[in-house]
Structure 1
Amino acid sequence: MLLFGWRSTGLCKFQLEQYWDILFLFESKFYQFKPQDYKLWTTYLVKNVSKLLKQLVRGRSMDSKVYDIGSNYFTILDPTFQLFGKILLSSDLGKIASIYLHHVSTSAYSQDLRQLILKIWEFLDHDNFQCDLMVFYIANTIENHDLITNLLRNLAWLNGSLMKPIGTRTLDSTFSSISWSDDKYVILQFQV
């Protein structure tokens, strides 16, 4: 089950196919593979989702790393931005919202960045999430340069910090042509 939307507009339940679509959309931003390995990549994701579901059903404690499959996936579509995200469970950091900022409109550049972050915090403060940490991944591209510059300039009053990318990881020897990487992102961390 995937939760979608803002608390103020209500929540609706996605169908299973839509859940997989968002999972694939989010994870495809970080996994690297050749086009001919797409089927191998989807097999890898299904295997890991199966492993995660077994852990959740058996009530085992989890300690996820940022490149692990999430326990929940979500998307937020707002007039000024679009993002995809997942929730990770960590024993030492609590619930982590790992967020890929997909698009920010030019009108958002002139808005108060605090309002943009507060909108996302409000969503993540919902009972189903209650996240402790929010990690933003913003593609380091020319199109995002103004947003990244403004965020970095204002990190102190947003109570955020810049994180160093983890780099490339080969996660499973049986799927050796698939790797995970966050090298092409500016990564920001915020306490929720």
Structure 2
Amino acid sequence: MSWMATGRYGVRTTDTGAVLVQELIGTRAVEDVPDLLAERESARAWWDESVRGWAAMRGVTVPAGALSDEDVAALRELRATFDALLARDGNAPAVAAGVTVTLALGDDGLVRPVPTGDGSRWLASALWSETLLAQQTDVWSRIKLCRNEDCRTAFYDSSRNRSGVWHDVTTCGNVANLRASRERKRRRSAVTD
């Protein structure tokens, strides 16, 4: 499946439900790419394509009803929360306050989390559930934020040793390496002067 937000950046995505976290992070604006959560219409388009796509993949039902302006603001707050969580710098919230989930037995006999609530609360339930599942299956450690400060999109690190730091080495990696090279040259030049 192609994803609306991450597809804009050519981001490598996980093939698990944790792609929903990557999709949320991918909604933010980067350079000339607009913020999909800036306005209700674009947020709704993202919801209809990506959130409903994730729900179909997971076999869950998205609650009916339109996203309110409060929901759109809450989606931006959720994005900031998951951005901080993926930054792994200790600034993420300690608790997913007020988030509930239902556990349901599937036809295959496996227990699965089912998001609860409406609008942004439903999405928060889905995101926290997927985060827990990703952490339990060690997928979470492979979902990273691009180290390029101008990018910071969430990508899936498929490298064998989990050493990936850029969502795209040819774009973000080259920019960072060029900056580092120029800084080293500047320091060497300052030392020899």
Output the TM-score relative to the length of structure 2. Answer: 0.26
Larger Rg: 2
Structure with the larger strand share: 1
